Structure 1
Amino acid sequence: MRKLITTFAILIAVLVAGMSALVLLVNPNDFKHYMVQKVKKRSGYQLTLKGDLRWHVWPRLSILSGPISLTAPGASQPAVTADNMRLDVELLPLLSHQLHVSKVLVMHAVIQAIPDAAAKTAPAGPIAPDDKNAFSSSLGHWSLDIARVSVANSLLIWQDPQGEQLNFRDVDLSLHQDASRVGQYRLSTVLTRNQQTFSIDFEGQMDARHYPYKLAFSVDRGNYQLQGVSLPEQGVKGKTTFTAQWSPLSSAFDLTNFTLHANDSDFSGEASGTLAPALQLKLNLQSQNANFDQLLLPSQPRLQSQSTDQQNTTDDTTDITRARTPVIAEKNNRGFIDWLNQSEISSQLTANQATWHDVTIKGLEVDMHNAMGVMNLNTLSGKVDNGQFTIQGKVDFRPELATVALHTQLQRIPLQIVQPLLQIPPVLRGDISLQGDFTGQGLRGKEILTQWQGHSSVELMGLDLPQMNVQQMVIDAVTRASNRVNSDPNLHPVIPDMRGDFTLADGNLQLTRLAGENAQVSLNALGNINFTQHQLDITFNLLTRGWKGDPGMIALLANQPIPLRFYGPWNHLQYSLSVDRLLKNNLKSRLQQWLKDNDKAKHSSS
């Protein structure tokens, strides 16, 4: 044991003596010119080392520098600046005139990926390949090898093709590559923009053998988080993996084997495109579950609960206006709109299940193409409950309010879903089918009703008015007006399925035709709904069956529609049902007819 300890002590002494001798005999400033020339030869960049280089022997043998800068050929600003740099070198290679740098560490650097810091090369000037055998004789017999590069606590300034600069703070990059420029990396950084913070922590493989023509890399483990205004309260966070290729000379990229988990949503697929001069992006994604409520909708305080079902129509209307307003697109989300106006994007998305404004959509399919703010919606379709929808058309995001021209098909979509989305009181139950063409401005529910115009056929199925029973109102009015008839107590009239047409213009929906019948009721309706003033004026004409009593009265009720009119503001709705007048007018008509028939009979007999 004593001999082993003695042996280790001798080795340590030799090592300390060797390092001390090296510090005394080798001047690190002898490497300065060599490193500058080597960087110049291999990359064309100009390395500037200010101040003297000095040795640092603990905890590892290193060369420390003063302020440094790295400038691209022809650039007016340096691409990299830092207060200092540390080169970890190996001792034994120095004895054979080899500067083996095991690691380069730069802290508190400023990296500028902006046009002023980019290389200025001749348009047709080729990039010479590396020549590992040729170097200036002034470099002596030294050779350089770097295995690891680390950048810590630094700032990356990147300018997008539209000229806006983004600051990536707290940049930590660790790169380990072999002699063929294949290796591993780890990158973490934080981006703050428009009161939103985006942070990433990626690690994976990198292949720079063909750089600058092509850079291939993969993200084998990627964590990210997005927080801030206009986002869900918990933000958007998750994991991602993909394989990518980047062509710096053409700004083109290609992503394959792409997976993304965002909150409780998942996506997979491929993406490709270019970043300059304008963003061009092609997406093809699939999803098992896409919860857009957890990805897109900002959190808003709810001032009143929607849990009670005993509220009347007035309460329902107030509750809708106070709760989170359903929208198709945020009106003030100009950052996203400006991004669309400066991009060309083709996207295809299929999702087994999607959630949007608490609506579950099965089999969602989206196929759209955006060209500088003009979006052609080739397909937007899906299934909701037992119904389905298909929307096609064009949306122009360039004006302050987006302009739309859409062909819409709905088949058996529940009214309980449609009414909240359009911000109208939930007074009806049932399903709606429609097919029509609409144009207008805006994508919010209120804008759809007040600034769109168009014509559509419509069908209402399983219709019910929870706040009132139209048929019972008529039956009660008839039995109060006359004791000659009464209704069958075992008969429970149901509103028939109704078909018709409507037009929408200037916030006014005009029912041009709406009618239906079943074994108990024949019903038609005419009138209009004013969404701007929140008023309506609709008259329902009902023929009810199943009466018992006087045959003449039964015949009258079977052939004379009874009008029931609803009118006034939504929150103070009124109605009129004039059965007495109808019966009196009919009795007068029958009396006049009897007198005419009697008079004819007298004349014929004479």
Structure 2
Amino acid sequence: MRKLITTFAILIAVLVAGMTALVLLVNPNDFKHYMVQQVKKRSGYQLTLKGDLRWHVWPRLSILSGPIVLTAPGASQPAVTADNMRLDVELLPLLSHQLHISKVLVMHAVIQATPDAAAKITPAGPIAPDDNSSFAPSLGHWSLDIAHLSVANSLLIWQDPQGEQLNFRNVDLSLHQDSSRVGRYHLSTALTRNQQTFSIDFDGQMDARHYPYKLAFSVDRGSYQLQGVSLPEQGVKGETTFSAQWSPMSNTFDLNDFSLHANDSDFTGEASGVLAPALQLNLKLHSQNANFDQLLLSGGSQVSQQVAAQTSSPERVDVQTRARTPVVVEKNNRGFIDWLNQSEITSQLTADQAIWHGVTVKGLALNAHNAMGMMSLNTLSGKVDDGHFAIQGKVDFRPDLATVDLHTDLQHIPLQVVQPLLQIPPVLRGDVSLQGDFTGQGLRGKDILTQWQGHSTIDLIGLDIPQMNVQQMVIDAVTRASNRVNSDPTLHPVIPDMRGNFSLGNGTLQLTRLEGENAQVSLNALGEINFAQHQLDITFNLLTRGWKGDPGMIALLANQPIPLRFYGPWNHLQYSLSVDRLLKNNLKSRLQQWLKDNDKAKHPSS
């Protein structure tokens, strides 16, 4: 053991002595001109090394530099500036005065991918495909022959085709490659924009054998997080994997085997397109569970509603509503809309289950094409409870307030879903079906009611008004006004299914026809709802059945509709039910008829 320790000590001493001698005998500044020459030869870029080079011998033999500047030919701004650079070199080649670099580490660099930092040399002749020796400096691409490259704690400034600069901070890149330019990489960085921060941490493989014509890479392990305004409080985070190919000279890309987990949502699919000068994207995604409330909506989008009805007098109904209701499209999504206005996107999205504003949608299907802000909505469909919906048409996002031209088909959609989305008091229960065409401006719930216009058929199925029972109100009014009839106590009044038509315009919904009938009642309604002023004026005409008592009165009630009118502001609703007048008019009519019949009996015609 003592001999082994002694042997190791001697080897270490010899190694230290050799390296010390090497440091004393070899001046690293002798390589400065050589490195500048090689960079110029291989890439066309001009490397400037400020200050002297110096040795660093622990934990590995390295050459340290001062500030460096790397400039593309003809560029007005440097492509890379850095505080310092470290070159790990191999010891044995130095003995023959050769510089073999095993690793390059650049610290605190500023990398500019902007037009001012791009090469501006007229392209030379044609380049043979896959010819590594023929990389023209005018292309501004690197021929990387270094086994290991690291960029730490750096900044990347990238300018998109529209001229906006994006700053990727805390860039940490580590790349290992073999002689054929196939290797592995690790990348982490963060982008802050519009008070939102997007950070990534990726590990994967890269194939640069055919670069700059094609670059293939994959993300074998990727995590990300998106936080900031207009996002859920906990942000959006998850993991992703995919494989991709990018053609730098044409700016085209293909994305395959894509898998993304975001909070409690998942997506798989593929994408392809062109990055510049304007984004063109073909996207095809499928999700087993897509919770858009956790991906798109801020914490204030949760629904909190309370409806209370108070009757202060027999002639008045007060309805008070306190609600924090969601909107169909958040007003502060201008950044997303601007992105649509600058892109061409064809998207196909299917989801086994999706959650949106607390509503669970089964079998969601979206097929749309966006051309610089003009979106053709070919399909937007899904199932909600036992019903389903389908929407088609066009949406123009280019104006400040989006314009729409849509055909809607709703079948048996619960009113408990529709009312909160449209920001109206949840006073009705049941299902609604409608088919109609609408045009207008805006996508928020309030905009739909006040800025849209159109016509539609409507069906109300299983309708219930928990705060008031219109049939019972009529029955009670009749029995109070006359003791000649009574209602059947075994009957439980049920509002019949109703069908009709309505028109929407200038913030007012006009009921042109709404009628229904069952074994207990025939019912029709006319009137209007003013969504802009939160007022309504609707009259229900009821023919009730199941009466007992005077046959004459029963016949009257079976043939004479009783009007029940609701009118006034939503939070101070009133009603009018004039049964007394109806009975008096009927008594007067019957008396006049009796006088006519009596007069005819006394004076028969000849």
1:479 partnered with 2:479: yes
Query: Which stretches of structure 1, 4 residues or longer, exceed 6 Å deviation after superposition?
Result: 308-311, 313-316
Letter in 1 for 2:249: L
Distance in structure 2 (CA, Å) of the matches to 1:316 and 1:91: 87
Asked whether the 8 Å contact 2:307–2:425 carries over to 1, the reply is no
Question: Does structure 1 residue 435 correspond to structure 2 residue 435?
Answer: yes
Contact (CA 8 Å) 2:498, 2:514: kept in 1 or not? yes
CA contact (8 A) 1:513 1:526 kept: yes
Choose from 317, 321, 333 the match for 1:318: 321
Aligned to 2:314: none
Partner residue, 1:550: 550
Does 2:346 correspond to 1:343? no
2:578 alignment partner AA = S
Q: 1:284 corresponds to which residue?
A: 284
Contact 2:456 / 2:501 at 8 angstroms: preserved in 1?
A: yes
Q: CA deviation at 1:105?
A: 0.5
Q: Which residue of 2 aligns with 1:170?
A: 170
- TM superposition shift of 1:509: 0.4
Give the match's secondary structure for 2:300.
Answer: coil
Moved more, 23-32 or 167-176: 23-32
Paired letter, 1:231: L
Give the SS at the match of 2:162.
Answer: coil
**Over residues 335-363 of structure 1, what are the superposed CA-to-partner deviations in whole Å (9 max), with x where a residue is unaligned?**
11111111111111000000000000000
Q: Is residue 2:426 matched to residue 1:423? A: no
When structure 1 is superposed on structure 2, of 498-507 and 246-255 the one drifting more is 246-255
Query: Offset of 1:22 from its aligned partner?
Result: 1.6
Which residue of structure 1 aligns with residue 596 of structure 2? 596
Counterpart Cα distance in 1 of 2:307 and 2:500: 30
Partner of residue 523, structure 2: 523
Relative to structure 1, is the Cα distance of residues 396 and 497 closer, same or farther in structure 2, using a 3 angstrom cutoff?
same
CA RMSD across the alignment: 1.9
Instruction: Please tell me whether the aligned partners of residues 309 and 320 of structure 2 are also in contact (alpha carbons under 8 angstroms).
Output: no
Superposed displacement of residue 21, structure 1: 2.2
The number of residues matched between the two structures is 590
Counterpart of 2:321 in structure 1: which amino acid? T
Q: Tell me if 1:450 matches 2:450.
A: yes
Q: Does the 8 Å CA contact 2:471/2:493 hold for their aligned counterparts?
A: yes
Matched, 1:12 2:23: no
Distance in 2, matches of 1:402 and 1:16, equals: 73
Stretch moving more, 593-602 or 581-590 = 593-602
Structure 1 residue 130 corresponds to structure 2 residue 162: no
1:382-393 matches, cutoff 5 A = 382-393=382-393
Alignment of 1:355-394 (within 5 A): 355-394=355-394
CA contact (8 A) 1:42 1:130 kept: no
1:129-174: per-residue Cα shift (whole Å, max 9, x none)? 3339xxxxxxxxxxx9621100001010000111000111111111
The 2-side partners of 1:126 and 1:200 are apart by: 38
Q: SS of the counterpart of 1:109?
A: strand
Higher mean alpha-carbon deviation, 455-464 vs 242-251, is at 242-251
Distance 1:145 1:18 in 2: 28
Question: 2:189: which partner in 1?
Answer: 189
Distance 1:50-1:125 versus aligned 2 partners, 3 A rule = farther
> Which amino acid counterpart does residue 75 of structure 1 have in structure 2?
A
What's 2:395 paired with? 395
SS in structure 2 opposite 1:29? helix
Residue identity in the other structure for 1:95: L
Q: Contact between 2:377 and 2:395, CA under 8 Å: does it hold in 1?
A: yes
Q: CA deviation at 1:596?
A: 2.3
Aligned residue for 2:233? 233
Over 3 Å counting, the alpha-carbon distance change for 1:80 and 1:315 in structure 2 is farther
Partner of 1:198: 198
Aligned partner of residue 524 in structure 2, secondary structure: strand
Shift of 1:454: 0.3
What amino acid sits opposite 1:398 in the alignment? R
Matched to 2:570, the amino acid is: W
Output one character per residue of 1:272-322: Cα deviation in whole Å (capped at 9) or x when no partner.
Answer: 1112111111110000000000011112398x964x6766699975321xx
1:510 Cα deviation after fit: 0.4
Contact 1:99 1:145 in 2 (8 A): no
| Partners of 1:101 and 1:145 within 8 A in 2 | no
Rounded Cα–Cα distance in structure 1 between residues aligned with 2:221 and 2:486: 76
Secondary structure at 1:477 match in 2? helix
CA distance in 1, matches of 2:124, 2:528: 69
Partner residue in 2 for 1:138: none
Note if 1:578 corresponds to 2:581. no
**Are the structure 2 counterparts of residues 605 and 146 from structure 1 closer, same or farther at C-alpha, using a change threshold of 3 Å?**
closer
Q: Deviations for 1:450-479, whole angstroms, at most 9, x for unmatched residues?
A: 110000000000000000111111111111
Deviates more, 1:588-597 or 1:154-163: 588-597
> Which whole-Å CA distance do the structure 1 matches of 2:246 and 2:564 have between them?
69
For the 8 Å contact 2:438–2:452, the answer to whether it is kept is yes
Q: In structure 1, what is the Cα distance between the partners aligned to 2:163 and 2:67?
A: 29
8 Å CA contact 1:543, 1:558 repeated in 2: yes
Instruction: Report the alpha carbon displacement of residue 27 of structure 1 after superposing the two structures with TM.
Output: 2.0
In the alignment, what sits opposite 1:135? none
Normalising by the residue count of structure 2, what TM-score does the alignment of the two structures yield? 0.94
The answer to whether the 8 A contact 2:367-2:377 is kept is: yes
- Aligned residues with identical type, % of pairs: 85
- Range that drifts further, 371-380 or 21-30: 21-30
Residue 493 (structure 1) shift: 1.6
Q: How does 1:326-337 map to 2 (within 5 A)?
A: 326-337=326-337
Query: Secondary structure at the residue paired with 1:514?
Result: strand
- Contact in 1 for aligned 2:360/2:384 (Cα 8 Å): yes
- 1:256 aligns with 256
Instruction: Give the Cα–Cα distance (whole angstroms) in 2 for the partners of residues 315 and 423 of structure 1.
Output: 18
For residue 84 of structure 1, give the secondary structure of its aligned residue in structure 2.
Answer: strand
**Unmatched segments (≥5 aa) in structure 2:** 135-143, 312-316
Identify the residue that residue 538 of structure 2 maps to in structure 1. Answer: 538
Deviation track 1:197-234 (CA, whole Å, cap 9, x = no partner) reads: 11111111011111111111111111111111111111
Q: Which moved more, 1:198-207 or 1:26-35?
A: 26-35
C-alpha distance in structure 2 between counterparts of 1:180 and 1:539, whole Å:
82
* Conserved? CA contact 2:318–2:572, under 8 Å: no
CA contact (8 A) 1:100 1:146 kept: no
